[in-house]
Structure 1
C-alpha cells in the first residue's frame, strides 16, 4: 500500500510539473527572444540618435568614434548617404543573428546585429533553473508521499493486528487513535467490539465457574444416593432413595436453569409465594449426613409457616451455599433461624465457629475472596441469586458469623407496561 500511495502521489506531481513546466519553458523562451529583439532595436535607435547629433554638429562620424557605443558582442553597420558604410564591432560568424534597424533624421540607416547564441545561453540558464525547481518539487513530493503513506499505512497495520488479536481470543482494547477521522472510527468500533467480547468471555467463564461450584454439592449428594441404592436389596429403601434422587435431579435442573438465566440477565427472576419451612426442611435433610460425618449438627428454629416471595430453587441454592460455607469454615452446630422484620421474612444462618476474619470484612461477597483455599465464589453467587428475586443477602455479624437472607412477604405484582416482575 505504501508503494502505491507513493507512486500515485509522484505520478500526480510529475503530470503537474510536465504540464506547467512545458508551458513555462515556452513562455520564457518567447519572452527572452522578444527581450533580445527589443534590446538590439533600442541599440540601433540609440546609435542613430548619436549619429544624428554628430552630423548636425558638423562632427565626424567614423568607427573610432562609435566603437565605445556598441556594447557586448553586438555588430553595428551605419550607412550614411554618399559615404562609405561604417562597421563597428565584430561581425557574427554565422547568419543566425537577431537584427534591429533604425533610421536617423539625416537619412542614415543603423543596423545592429547580435548572435542568437547569446539568447540560447540565456534560455539554457532559464531551463536549468526551471529544471532544478522541478527536481526540488519532485523530491518534496516524494518525501511528502512517504510521510502520508506511513501515516495511512501504519494505522491500517495496527488495526489489522487488533482485528487479528480479537480473532485469536485476546479482547483487550488498545485505545489508540491516529488523528484520521475515518481510521479513528474503525478503531472505536474495534475497541467497542473488544469490550463486548471481553464481557462475553467474562460471562462465559463466570458461568462455567458458577456451574462448577453450584453443581458440585448436588452431584455429590446424588452420587451418595445412587450408591445407597446399589448397596441395598430392600425395595422400600430403593424406592425411598430413588425418590430422593429424583428430587435432587429436579434441583440440579433448576440450578442449571437459574445459572443460565442469571448469565443472560442477573435481574430476571420467576418469584412466587412459597412456604419457607419446606425449603429449610429439604436443606436440613440433604445436609445432615454431611454434618453427621464430621461430628457436627444442623438445626432449625424460629417462626414457622412463613410465606415468602422468591424462587424456591434459588432460595435453596442460597441456603445451600451458606450451609456449605459453615461446614467448610465454621464450627459447632449450625442453626437456621426464621423471623419476621417489617414486610420481610429473614432466614439467619449461624454457627459456633471463629467467624469471618477482620481482614475480609465486607469483601466476603466478592468473587475470589475466601478465608481458606476455596473458590471464593459461593457467597458471590448466593448474593446474585438472592438479588435476582428481589431479596438480599447480608452478613449480619462477623464473630460468630451470622448471615441473613431477606425475602419479601408481599406477592409479586406486575406494573402496568412493565416487562419484568417487581417486588413491592
Structure 2
C-alpha cells in the first residue's frame, strides 16, 4: 500500500507538471520570439529615424555614428539612394529574425539577428522550468513518502492490535493518529478489546467460582458414598443414599445457578424458605466429617425463622463457612441463629485462632488467604449472599465469628 500511495502521488504530480510545463514552454517560447522580433523592428525604426534626421539636416550618414545604435550580435544594412550601402556588424548565418524599414527619403534600413540567440534564451528558460519541475518532483516524493508513512504506519499498528486481540491479548492500546477514519477504527478496536477483556474476566471468574462452589457438594457427596461402601446395613445404605441424592440435587442446583448468573448476573430466584430446614440439612451433611476430625458440630439460637433468599445459595454460604471452620479452625463448630431488626442472622464460629490481624476485612477479597488456599471461598460466599439482598460479615476475628444476614418474611414470634 505504501508503494501504491507513493506511485499514485508521483503520477499525479508528473501529469500536472507535464501539462503545465509543456504549456509554459510553448508560451515562453512564443513570448521570447515575439519579444526578439519586436526588438529588431524597434531597432530598425530607430535607425531609420536617425538616418532621416541626418539627411534632413544635411549631415553625412556614417557607419561610426550608426554603429553605436546597433545592438551587439545584430547586423544592420542601410541603403541610401545614390550612395554605397552601409553595413554594421557581421551578417549572421542560419535562421534569421529580420525587419526592414523605409524612410521618407527612400532610404532602407534592414536589421537582422540570428535565431540562435533566441534559441539560447529559450534554452535558458527551459532549463529554469526543468529545474523548477525537478524540485517539484523531489518535493512531491518527500511529501508522498511522508504521507504514505503517516497512513501506512497506523494501518500496520492497527493490524498488530487486531492480531493481538486474536492471540488472546485484549489490552486496549489507546493510540490515535490524527486521521479521523483511522481514529474511528482505533476506537472500535479499543472498545472491542475492552469487551473481550470483560468477557474473558467473566469466563475466568465463572470457571473459578464453579470449581470452588462445586468442590463443597462433591466433597460432601464423596463422604456419603464412602459411608455407603463401609457399611453392610441396608437401612444405613438407604439413609446415606437418600442424603446423597439430596446432595446431587443441590449439586444440580449449583450448576444451574452458575449458568444462570453467567448469562444474566441480575437474574435472581429469591423465595421465602424455612431457614431451619436449610441449616439442618447442612448439619446432617457435615456432621460425619466434623466427627471424623474429632470435633463437634452444634446448633443453638432461635428456631422457626423464615428468610427470603435462594435456598441453594444460602446452603452454599453456610457450607462454605462450615468447611472453613473444619479446614482452618479448631475445636467445636457452632451454628447460632438470631434475629436483629428485620433480619435473620446465622452465625458460624469455632475455637480456632481465627483470621490473622493483617487480613481483617480483606478476608472477603478474591485471592486473599492466610492458609495457602485459593482465597475464593469467602469471596464467592459473599457474592452469593449479596445476590439475594443479604450480606456476609466477619463479626469477630479471634475466635472467628462469621455472620450471614438474611431478610425475613414479616414479623417473627
Same fold, judged at TM 0.5 (above): yes
Alignment partners' CA distance in 2, 1:282 and 1:108 = 142
3-state secondary structure, aligned to 1:81? coil
**Bigger shift: residues 310-319 or 338-347:** 338-347
Indicate yes or no: 2:287 matched with 1:288: yes
Contact kept in structure 2, 1:75 and 1:91, CA below 8 Å: yes
Shift, 1:98, TM fit: 0.6
3-state secondary structure, aligned to 2:316? helix
Alignment partners' CA distance in 2, 1:217 and 1:255 = 11
3-state secondary structure, aligned to 2:68? helix
Contact kept in structure 1, 2:342 and 2:407, CA below 8 Å: yes
Superposed CA offset, 1:39-96 (max 9, x none): 10111111112212222222110222212221110001112222222111111123x1
Superposed CA offset, 1:87-126 (max 9, x none): 11111123x1111223334332211110000000000011
Contact kept in structure 2, 1:308 and 1:407, CA below 8 Å: yes
Contact kept in structure 1, 2:385 and 2:404, CA below 8 Å: yes
Report 1:381-420 matches (<5 A): 381-410=380-409
Superposed CA offset, 1:169-189 (max 9, x none): 111111111111111111111
Report 1:324-363 matches (<5 A): 324-363=323-362
Report 1:16-415 matches (<5 A): 16-94=16-94, 96-410=95-409
Contact kept in structure 2, 1:304 and 1:338, CA below 8 Å: yes
Length-normalised TM-score, structure 1: 0.94
Please report the RMSD computed on the Cα atoms of aligned residues, expressed in angstroms: 1.4
Alignment partners' CA distance in 1, 2:85 and 2:71 = 19
Gaps of 5+ in 2: none
Shift, 1:368, TM fit: 0.1
Alignment partners' CA distance in 2, 1:232 and 1:324 = 25
Alignment partners' CA distance in 2, 1:52 and 1:400 = 137
3-state secondary structure, aligned to 1:337? strand
Contact kept in structure 2, 1:368 and 1:375, CA below 8 Å: yes
**Bigger shift: residues 336-345 or 4-13:** 336-345
3-state secondary structure, aligned to 1:69? coil
Alignment partners' CA distance in 2, 1:263 and 1:357 = 33
Contact kept in structure 2, 1:267 and 1:389, CA below 8 Å: no
Length-normalised TM-score, structure 2: 0.96
Alignment partners' CA distance in 1, 2:365 and 2:389 = 19
Contact kept in structure 2, 1:395 and 1:401, CA below 8 Å: yes
Shift, 1:344, TM fit: 1.1
3-state secondary structure, aligned to 1:171? coil
**Bigger shift: residues 195-204 or 352-361:** 352-361
Shift, 1:140, TM fit: 0.9
Alignment partners' CA distance in 2, 1:319 and 1:220 = 15
Contact kept in structure 1, 2:223 and 2:289, CA below 8 Å: no
Alignment partners' CA distance in 2, 1:152 and 1:393 = 56
Aligned length: 410
Contact kept in structure 1, 2:320 and 2:378, CA below 8 Å: yes
Contact kept in structure 2, 1:266 and 1:384, CA below 8 Å: no
Gaps of 5+ in 1: 412-424
Aligned residue number for residue 6 of structure 2 = 6
Alignment partners' CA distance in 2, 1:321 and 1:267 = 23
3-state secondary structure, aligned to 1:274? strand
Contact kept in structure 1, 2:216 and 2:320, CA below 8 Å: no
Superposed CA offset, 1:348-372 (max 9, x none): 1122222222211221111000111
Alignment partners' CA distance in 2, 1:299 and 1:365 = 25
**Bigger shift: residues 291-300 or 269-278:** 291-300
Alignment partners' CA distance in 2, 1:162 and 1:200 = 18
Shift, 1:192, TM fit: 1.0
